[in-house]
Amino acid sequence: MVEAREGTRPHRDDEAATDTPTPRRGSVLRAAGLVSLLTLASRVLGLVRDVFTTAIFGRGAVLDTFVIAWMLPNMMRRLFGEGALAASLVPAYTRSLEGSEGPSRARRLLAGVSGGLAAFLGLLALAVVLGALLLPPELFGVGPARGRLLAELLAILFPYVVPVCLVAAFTGALQALGSFAPGALAPVILNLFWIAALWWCHGSDDLTGTARTMSFALLSGGMVQLAVVVMALIRRRAMPRPRLPRPDDGSGAVFRAMIPTAVGLSAVQLNVLIDQALAYWVVGEGAGSAMFLANRLLLFPHALVALPLATAVFPSLARDASTSDLQGLRSRLDAALSATLFLSFPAAIGMVLIADDLIAIAFEHGRFEGDDTRVTGWTTAALCSSLPAIGIAQLRARALYALDLPRVPARIAFRLLGVNLVLNLGLAVGLGLGPAGLALATAICSWINAWALGTACRSRLPAAGRLGIPAGTVRTLVASAAMAGAVLGVQALVPRDPAAGSLSLAWTRLALPIACGVLVHVGVHHGLGGEETRLLWTRVRRKLPGGGH
């Protein structure tokens, strides 16, 4: 990586042809369909990899150590890659494409951003690797054997942060150019490498060797992810030669714009780090594995019911704020909150009620045994109780972002750091609840966060519905309670048969209770005059043959 001196001739990529294709609006729907398909493939592969991982490792010390080593580069990815960087790079890159210099200016911007990011993260990765290899294993505080394994896995896995954050930067540029598939393909690639490593080591009793092999496979997967997005940019003649930032390329403005978002995200990531660190160093063996699996199971309903709505409504909230239509923003926010509660409350209750059966059917294989199911089930149930709060908080935070108040959610998140730590120690250690206590502390903080963000919104927006509660909340609570009764009733009528096969159990203990619960929830909600069910039926009817418009 070479930085040209001032006054020298610019790199040839700065002068490359200025005919980089711009996004075609007509292809957006087709691209969205492809992205949805790839995302579904990633979710399925992620479930497969987790089943294989728990079957091979069980809920023990080796998997705990891998989880803590894998968590650190992923925190950096969320902080510097998909979070703060994406939020600041994509608008700047889009403006550069539409400016007078067009693609040439956009390439210079991407060259400075990618070069600066690679230099910073490369030095950080080098420091972590050297520290992990040079420090005595005893300093990790988990015994010599686990300390050595943690050091080795950190040295292998932390460099993954360089390719994965560059993937995020290049994916943002591709999205501005109208190309969405390469970025959506990245997690599919990673899951395939993960599964391939597990398949290669299947049958081995050397769990530490398997963890090393899996770590090398993930680092290799990161490099392949980077190659895929780089090739996509090359095909569009939009791939620059990365270099250190220059004063005139606009990269400095991108990095400065990252700071407020990074500060807010850092509080969230610190909470995650506190949870995992306590699980690994304080609670005991197997706690980190249980938290890892519970978080993975939370991602499924969260990705289906909370995140899409928050993402979709954000541009509308921003438009209302830009025109000073605070009443319109309030109404739109309330409608989104009602829809989120309509979906997230029954999803959370369902996950709490079926957690044990879901984990037993999906994961109770190999070294993952009955006691592991019990502990992970309680942990998953406690964590999934936060699902409505997460959806509420995401919507309210986006309303504050739309009002150009990003520091408010950040301040609230930082104040909750101490609360989270006290609750973690009190529940997990003081009351002896173990990983379930860590999950319960996270859930309580999620609800406090949602309440605090609601207070911040109420002080800056017109009043909401009666008593400040969004319309439809009472209907949703009543329908969700009826749904819980239906699920419990089916579970009581069809007790678990230990001799039954996995498919039979999946039908009687999962599919049947879930189907009855959904029908009862929708029926009761509709009977109480719920607007959400009418809109849902209208959407479904339009998809049916002859459904009309």
Distance CA 312, CA 320 (A): 14
Q: How confident is the model at residue 100 (pLDDT cuts 50, 70, 90)?
A: low
CA separation (Å) from 394 to 74, 336, 402? 20, 11, 12
Model confidence at 232: pLDDT above 90: yes
Model confidence at 102: pLDDT above 50: yes
Residues 57 and 91 in one domain: yes
User: At a CB cut-off of 8 Å and minimum separation 6, what does 409 contact?
Assistant: 264, 397, 400, 401, 453, 456
CA separation (Å) from 404 to 263, 322, 397, 459? 15, 10, 11, 15
Residues 461 and 487 in one domain: no
Note the pLDDT tens digit of each residue in 58-74.
Answer: 888 999 999 999 998 98
Model confidence at 464: pLDDT above 70: no
Question: Does residue 9 lie within any of the structural domains?
Answer: no
Note the pLDDT tens digit of each residue in 135-145.
Answer: 898 888 888 88
Model confidence at 157: pLDDT above 60: yes
Around 6, how many Cα atoms within 13 Å sit in the side-chain half-sphere? Answer: 3
Distance CA 98, CA 109 (A): 13
- Where residue 537 falls (left for φ over 0; alpha for ψ -120 to 50; beta otherwise) is alpha
CB 211 within 8 A of CB 65: yes
Q: How confident is the model at residue 535 (pLDDT cuts 50, 70, 90)?
A: low
CB 191 within 8 A of CB 46: yes
Question: Does residue 275 lie within any of the structural domains?
Answer: no
Residue 274 pLDDT: 86
Residues 178 and 308 in one domain: no
Residues 463 and 504 in one domain: no
Residues 195 and 101 in one domain: yes
Residue 35 pLDDT: 67
Residues 366 and 499 in one domain: no
| Residue found under tokens 């040439």 | 104
Residue 219 pLDDT: 96
Residue 91 pLDDT: 77
Average pLDDT estimate for 16-38: 52
Residues 307 and 413 in one domain: yes
Residue 425 pLDDT: 94
Note the pLDDT tens digit of each residue in 468-485.
Answer: 566 578 888 999 999 999
Long-range contacts of 26-29 (CB under 8 A, 24+ apart): 27/178, 28/178
Residues 462 and 478 in one domain: no
Model confidence at 209: pLDDT above 60: yes
Question: Does residue 132 lie within any of the structural domains?
Answer: yes
pTM of the model: 0.79
Model confidence at 296: pLDDT above 90: no
Note the pLDDT tens digit of each residue in 312-354.
Answer: 677 678 778 878 888 888 888 888 888 888 889 999 999 999 9
Note the pLDDT tens digit of each residue in 502-532.
Answer: 788 888 889 999 999 999 998 888 888 766 6
Residues 417 and 493 in one domain: no
Q: How confident is the model at residue 14 (pLDDT cuts 50, 70, 90)?
A: very low
Average pLDDT, rounded, for the chain? 83
Residue 203 pLDDT: 83
User: Residue 5: phi, psi to the nearest 5?
Assistant: -75, 155
Total domain count, the chain: 3
Question: Does residue 178 lie within any of the structural domains?
Answer: yes
Residue 36 pLDDT: 63
Average pLDDT estimate for 342-369: 90
Question: Does residue 24 lie within any of the structural domains?
Answer: no
Model confidence at 12: pLDDT above 60: no
Residue 6 pLDDT: 35
Question: Does residue 270 lie within any of the structural domains?
Answer: no
Q: Which of 444, 470, 496 is the last residue of a domain?
A: 470
CB 288 within 8 A of CB 430: no
% of the chain residues with pLDDT over 90: 40
Residues 466 and 535 in one domain: no
Name the more confident of 146 and 23.
146
Note the pLDDT tens digit of each residue in 379-414.
Answer: 999 999 999 999 899 889 888 888 878 788 888 988
H or E element: which one contains 297? helix 287-305
Distance CA 478, CA 524 (A): 8
Average pLDDT estimate for 238-251: 89
Question: Does residue 14 lie within any of the structural domains?
Answer: no
Distance CA 310, CA 307 (A): 5
Average pLDDT estimate for 420-437: 93
68-72, 98-102, 272-276, 287-291: least confident range: 98-102
Residue 248 pLDDT: 83
Q: How confident is the model at residue 81 (pLDDT cuts 50, 70, 90)?
A: low
Q: How confident is the model at residue 175 (pLDDT cuts 50, 70, 90)?
A: confident
Question: Does residue 281 lie within any of the structural domains?
Answer: no
The boundaries of the domain holding residue 522 are 472-544
Around 412, how many Cα atoms within 13 Å sit in the side-chain half-sphere? Answer: 21
Residues 82 and 226 in one domain: yes
CB 195 within 8 A of CB 49: yes
90-104, 159-173, 272-286, 340-354: least confident range: 90-104
Average pLDDT estimate for 441-464: 88
Q: Which of 426, 445, 470 is the last residue of a domain?
A: 470
Q: Which of 234, 264, 294 is the last residue of a domain?
A: 264
Residues 432 and 320 in one domain: yes
Most confident of 78-82, 191-195, 540-544: 191-195
